[in-house]
Amino acid sequence: MQTVSTGLKPDVHLTNSRIISLHVNGVPRIADVAPWVSLLDALRDHLDLTGTKKGCDHGQCGACTVLCDGKRILSCLTLAVMKEGAEITTIEGIAQDDVLHPLQKAFIENDAFQCGYCTPGQICSAIGMLSEGKANSRAEVKELMSGNLCRCGANTNIIDAIMEVKNARL
């Protein structure tokens, strides 16, 4: 561990690497991360949860979408240390034991992926979108899912899958 002198108050935490605790998929987890480690890298490389994908690493594709305290966010533009104490849900945490989440089922039934790389982000984003409750039509679902790009072009089927789950809930 490296200590940097900044002339600040002594009670400020100044060591670079630190232990943080997160609740990930309902399980308390501890990670030893430096401040510059993104939540995405902490999940994948420190907690071995590789379901969350890295597409662009710059906020431009949505592949890294996870739920933080129920809200969809981009884990690539979040530092892990910012989420100390938060509740994080990744694609690994949305099925109930062996029962798939309705969106996972709908994605399979609607053939809503090809390579599958965008799928974890799409599903986490769709869960967040449905709980926000702001999308009332197919056009609005499309607009509010625009933060998740699919480079295979499965978009039509992705929106079909989400609409199926949304309509079933009404």
Partner 1 sequence: MNNFNYTRAGNIQEAMSLVSQNSDAGFLAGGTNMVDLLKYNLVHPELLVDINHIPEHRGILETEDGGVQLGAFATNAETAYHPLIETRYPLLSRAILAGASAQIRNMATNGGNLLQRTRCYYFYDPNTPCNKRKPGSGCSAIGGYNRIMAILGASEDCIAVFPSDMCVALSALDAVVRIDGVDGTRSLPFAEFHRLPGNNPERDNNLQPGEIITSIDLPEKGFEKNYSYLKLRDRSSYAFALVSVATGLDLEGDVIKEARIALGGVAHKPWRIKDAEDFLAGKSPSAENFAAAAKIILNGAVGYGHNNFKIDLAKRAVVRNCLMALNPESQQPGAHPSI
Ligand X SMILES: Cc1cc2nc3c(=O)[nH]c(=O)nc-3n(C[C@H](O)[C@H](O)[C@H](O)COP(=O)(O)OP(=O)(O)OC[C@H]3O[C@@H](n4cnc5c(N)ncnc54)[C@H](O)[C@@H]3O)c2cc1C
> For binding to ligand X (CB under 6 A), which residues are involved?
59-60
Verify binding: residue 4, partner 1, rule CB under 8 A.
yes
The dihedral sign for the CA sequence 94, 81, 55, 148: positive
**Restricting to residues 64-83, which ones interact with ligand FES according to CB under 6 A?**
64, 74, 76
Q: How many residues bind partner 1 (CB under 8 A)?
A: 45
List the one residue from 107, 128, 162, 166 that touches partner 1 (CB under 8 A). 128
Contact 143, 77 (CB under 8 A): no
Q: Which does 151 bind (CB under 5 to 8 A by kind): ligand FES, ligand X, partner 1, none?
A: ligand FES
Instruction: Please check whether residue 39 is in contact with residue 66, taking contact to mean a CB–CB distance below 8 angstroms.
Output: yes
Residue 116 binds what, of ligand FES, partner 1, ligand X, none (CB under 5 to 8 Å, by partner type)? ligand FES
Taking the least distance from each CB to partner 1, the nearer of 13 and 169 is: 13
Distance CA 20, CA 117 (A): 28
Residue 140 within binding range of partner 1, rule CB under 8 A: yes
Q: Which stretch binds ligand FES (CB under 6 A): 16-24, 25-33, 92-100, 146-154?
A: 146-154
Q: Pick the stretch among 22-30, 76-84, 97-105, 154-162 that binds partner 1 (CB under 8 A).
A: 76-84
* Nearest residue to 162 via CA among 133, 132, 129: 129
With 0-12 CB in 10 A as exposed, 13-18 as middle and 19+ as buried, what is 129?
buried
Task: Report the candidate in 100, 162, 169 with the shortest Cα–Cα distance to residue 126.
Answer: 162
90 binds partner 1 (CB under 8 A): no
**Interface pick for ligand FES out of 57, 84, 87, 160 (rule CB under 6 A):** 57
| CA–CA dist 161, 94 (Å, integer) | 16
Amino acid letter for position 27: V
